[in-house]
Structure 1
Amino acid sequence: MTSRDALLRAAMHRVLARMGHGMADAAAGLAVIVQDAPDRVRQEWDLFQEEVKAEAKRLDREGAGRGVDAESSPASSAEEESLQTKIDQLRARVAELGMRMEERP
């Protein structure tokens, strides 16, 4: 065997050895992730449940402030339409002001 062949074989062995170590490291990392996954999922689930409960309490407080019956009453829908009309008017006014500002040199 020539030194060129020996060099080529040695290079291939080193590449395979490094790839093997890289694969082993990746497999070990994956094993840690898989091992920790149930705990992580449980923590995320608990956090999600707490967030849902907090949001439900907030919505209850918000609904209690307005009254549950007021949400479905005709006066409430008239108020909502009136508010929407005001919002639309404000948007139109802002758009008009924006156009005026763009026209100025």
Structure 2
Amino acid sequence: MPLNNPSSNLTVTDQLAGTSTRITGATSTSAAQLIPANVNRLGLTIYNPTSITVYIDTAASPTTSQHQFSLNAKGFYEMPDNKIYTGAFYAIAASGTPTLEIREFT
């Protein structure tokens, strides 16, 4: 027995992005903001073309042991298109100064 009987008149409208912006994703061994907040964000991809792992978080000051996710060498992250986070992203590199390839869709 269903707990909810949704209306048959439900309309879902997708919001499509019309612009792709390249963001320079410079990182280092000091935690810093990687991507600024953007209330118009509809999508986001991050690619790590380097051989160095980068640790990423939506909370400020990630560490190599406390972070939301890691982006390993040649790793790729694509933000889910149904749950868009519009706040800032922060990052710290395991070593060196790797630069990530980031695209933000608005």
TM over 0.5: no
TM-score (norm 2): 0.19
Relative contact order higher in (CA < 8 Å, ≥ 6 apart): 2
Bigger Rg, structure 1 or 2: 1
Task: Say which structure is richer in strand.
Answer: 2
Structure number with the higher helix fraction is 1
